[in-house]
Amino acid sequence: MNTKIRNFGTCKIESPAAYEYYTGDESKVVFKTVFETEEGWKEYIGEGAEFFEQAGPRKKIYFDPKEVTAGIVTCGGLCPGINDVIRGIVMELNYRYGVKRILGFPYGYQGLVKKFDHKPIELNPENVAHIGRDGGTILASSRGNQNASDMVDRLSLYGVKMLFCIGGDGTLRGAKEIVREIDRRGEEISVIGVPKTIDNDINYVQKTFGFSTAFSKAMEAVECAHVEAKGAPNGIGVVKLMGRHSGFIAVNAALASQNVNYCLIPEVDFDLKGKGSFLDVLKKRIQTREHAVIIVAEGAGQKFFGKTEERDASGNLKLGDIGVYLKNSIQEFFKAEKIEVNVKYIDPSYIIRSIPANPEDSIFCGFLAQNAVHAAMAGKTDLVIGIWNNVFTHLPIDIAIQERKVLQPTKSTLWRTLLASTGQPAHMVAE
């Protein structure tokens, strides 16, 4: 795994940020932290351990702040905390480094393409001071790929020296294309990614912003489902949460609630029919406890819809609606079993992603924003600001988009804790 970070050249300008201490490029964050034996640790270090470069302000910087025009773009679906990141970037650029020209490009990567005619917005401390109170993004967003050459043309037209791309997997892939086009032209425009995904599925990034807010808000829906389930004979509450490839939101919401009986995620297979299947297990609970609460992640159970190559504007495979499918399957199953049930289905997805960040996420967004600015001012490029072992890192975009992070049931203490909390079987497949 090549974690070396690209830099345009030697940093010769004394940083005006005036911090009391700085982070050196030689400061590293070790990749692996758990070893079963002392010999294993010594062997790991001895053979040349894998490290990430630590993020943070550098004592000397590459770009002269007086000559810098910075750009910010937000892409993909909405997520709590985007405005906090925008605010953090603007404040750090302006107050710490003295950068006075900051442009926000509206509607995602469309804002970097001339034909869409979206005029950039001048951002300053006054007009971003209170945007964290609102959900969404003041720059708006869009999905879909744009031509990298057209985007770099726009950056060059406005004299942009650093571009901050706030978005998920698709956004980071677009940022990589922009980097390639900049390299092809031999220009020096720093491209820094700030990973945004409620699903928390960016590779080698411990946590993404918006995740804490998302599962906290999801808990409200789960608690409502519990009330509904307890409030009717044989009540069953079904809540669908986000998670195309990973079940982190679903699992965390279930653990926080402690009223969830079953949590279905993309990483763990399950069947609906046959002895030992999910519906068979659910039937036994209804017969003994007379109610149940179920969380299902949107990417779970996609095998029930067959294979499809249809994709959305971001290039993601379109998913079947497992929430509605599960609700209908439960009703049909119990009807055939001649057991009357009351099924209540809740899908809070758009509510969850549109709210402002909670205090924890808001603080986290500020850290990400500041470290993104530090990296750009030091002339670094082609990287994502991440966090690993609770330390902020510089992660090459190539590694971030290499694959999606997923929960590993056979190795994860999170999943083991979930099984203990819900009491569900580790496997619900037909015998």
- Annotated binding-site positions: 77, 143-144, 168-171, 197-199, 242-244, 298, 350-353
199 belongs to the catalytic site:
yes
User: Alpha-carbon distance 153 to 169, whole Å?
Assistant: 23
Q: Are strands 69-74 and 60-61 parallel, antiparallel or unpaired?
A: unpaired
State the helix-helix crossing angle for 211-230 and 248-257, rounded to 10 degrees: 50
CB 330 within 8 A of CB 279: yes
Own/partner long-range contacts of 100-104 (Cβ < 8 Å, ≥24 apart) = 101/68, 101/69, 101/70, 102/69, 102/70, 102/71, 102/72, 103/69, 103/70, 103/71, 103/72, 103/158, 103/160, 104/71, 104/72, 104/73, 104/138, 104/139
Which parts are annotated binding residues for ATP? 77, 143-144, 168-171
**Amino acid letter, residue 324:** V
Length of the chain: 431
Looking up tokens 């990567």 gives 109
Strands (E), 3-149: 6-7, 13-14, 28-30, 51-54, 60-61, 69-74, 101-105, 121-123
Half-sphere exposure of 122 (CA within 13 A, CB side): 4
Options 25, 84, 199, 312, the catalytic residue: 199
* Beta strands per DSSP E along 179-222: 190-195
Name the binding residues for substrate. 197-199, 242-244, 298, 350-353
- In the three-class reduction of DSSP (H, G, I as helix; E, B as strand; rest coil), residue 103 is classed as strand
Cα distance between residue 123 and residue 283, in whole Å: 57
Q: Which residues are catalytic?
A: 199
